[in-house]
A = this chain, B = another copy of it.
Amino acid sequence: MMASQQKVVISTIAQGLYEFTDEAEAFVRSTGIDIGLLTVFVRHTSCSLLIQENADPDVRRDFERFFARLVPVGDPLFSHTIEGDDDMPAHIRTALTAVNLGIPIADGRLCLGTWQGIYLWEHRAAPHSRTVVVHLLGDGSEA
- Are A80 and B59 in contact (CB-based, < 8 A)? yes
**Stretch of A8-16, A22-30, A99-107 lying at the B interface:** A99-107
- Are A79 and B58 in contact (CB-based, < 8 A)? yes
The CA-CA distance from A69 to B52 in the complex, in Å, is: 22
How many chain copies? 3
Q: Which residues of B contact A39 (CB under 8 A)?
A: 37, 102-104
| Contact residues on A (Cβ < 8 Å of other chain), bracket | 35 or more
Q: Is the interface of A mostly helix, strand, loop or mixed?
A: mixed
Report the minimal beta-carbon distance from A51 to chain B, rounded to whole angstroms. Answer: 5
Report the minimal beta-carbon distance from A89 to chain B, rounded to whole angstroms. Answer: 9
Q: Which residues of B contact A101 (CB under 8 A)?
A: 99-100, 102
Q: Which residues of B contact A113 (CB under 8 A)?
A: 42-45, 131
With A43-B112, A133-B111, A135-B37 as known contacts, state yes or no: A80 contacts B95, CB within 8 Å: no
Report the minimal beta-carbon distance from A123 to chain B, rounded to whole angstroms. Answer: 13
Report the minimal beta-carbon distance from A28 to chain B, rounded to whole angstroms. Answer: 14
